Copies of this chain bind each other. A is one copy, B any other.
């Protein structure tokens, strides 16, 4: 699934499978998220969507995002207390949060590692999802698997007030 029309077909199918309707708003929100391989916030998505559909409301963007997450077409990313971000990458992956630039990088996770992670759980614990986030600094020259921009939300150091 890669071309816009394939993505659109996937969206329609998933929505109908969930008893939901494929609306223009859901289409455009999904399309806008797939266009860039980054991790935009609801506000950023709202801004991008408005250029194509100026009458859409922020509440609708939130509604659509909730629906897309529910249909497993996008992923939700929460870092610290910052606004929720949304991620079009559905492959099993971790996030690397570069504290100096504010960038978020996707880090692919080998299947074996996922298995090992499940193995650390005591008997009786069944994990349906695993969230892994690294925090640190990435060298400027490094070429990660996927690099994704992120609004520069540098949190100022302790005791700045």
Please state if A134 and B138 are interface contacts (CB–CB under 8 Å): no
Residues in B with CB closer than 8 Å to A130 are: 132-135
Please state if B124 and A139 are interface contacts (CB–CB under 8 Å): yes
Please state if A113 and B116 are interface contacts (CB–CB under 8 Å): yes
How many copies of the shown chain assemble into the complex? 2
Please state if A125 and B136 are interface contacts (CB–CB under 8 Å): yes
Stretch at the interface among A3-11, A25-33, A49-57, A103-111: A103-111
Given A125-B136, A126-B137, A136-B128, verify A120-B94 contact (CB < 8 Å). Answer: yes
Residues in B with CB closer than 8 Å to A99 are: 128
Q: Is A84 an interface residue (CB 8 A)?
A: yes
Residues in B with CB closer than 8 Å to A136 are: 125-129
Please state if A135 and B127 are interface contacts (CB–CB under 8 Å): yes
Spell out A's residues near B (CB within 8 Å). Answer: 66-67, 70, 78, 80-81, 84, 94, 96, 99, 105, 107-110, 113, 116-117, 120-139, 141-145, 158-159
